[in-house]
Amino acid sequence: MTITPRVKKILRRIYRIILIGVLFVIILLIAIVLLIRTPMVQNFARKKIVSYLQSKLHTRVEVGNLYIGFPEKVVLKNIYLEDLSKDTLLYGGKIEVDISMFRLLKNELKLNEINLDQVTVKIKRTLPDSTFNFEYIIDAFATKGGDSKPADTTSSMKFSIGKIHLQKISASYRDDASGNDVSFFLGNFENYQIRLHKIP
Per-residue pLDDT of the chain (200 residues; tens, 9 = 90+): 566 777 777 778 887 888 888 888 888 777 777 777 788 888 998 999 999 999 999 999 999 998 887 767 889 999 999 998 899 999 999 999 888 777 767 777 778 888 999 999 999 988 887 888 899 988 888 765 555 454 454 456 677 778 888 899 899 998 888 888 888 888 887 765 544 444 44
Task: Report whether 136 contacts 152 (CB < 8 A).
Answer: no
Q: Counting every residue, how long is the chain?
A: 200
Helices (H) and strands (E) in the chain, counts: 3, 7
**Which contacts (CB < 8 Å, 24+ apart) does range 39-47 have?**
42/66, 42/67, 42/68
HSE-CB of 114 using CA atoms within 13 angstroms: 15
Closest by Cα among 142, 134, 62, 65 to 96? 65
Considering the chain, what percentage of its residues have pLDDT values greater than 90? 20
pTM, to two decimals? 0.70
**Residue 102: DSSP 8-state:** G
Examine residue 128 and say whether the peptide bond preceding it is cis (omega within 30 degrees of 0): yes
Angle of helix 5-36 relative to helix 39-57, nearest 10 degrees? 70
Closest by Cα among 72, 80, 120 to 96? 72
Q: Residue 151: its pLDDT value, please?
A: 47
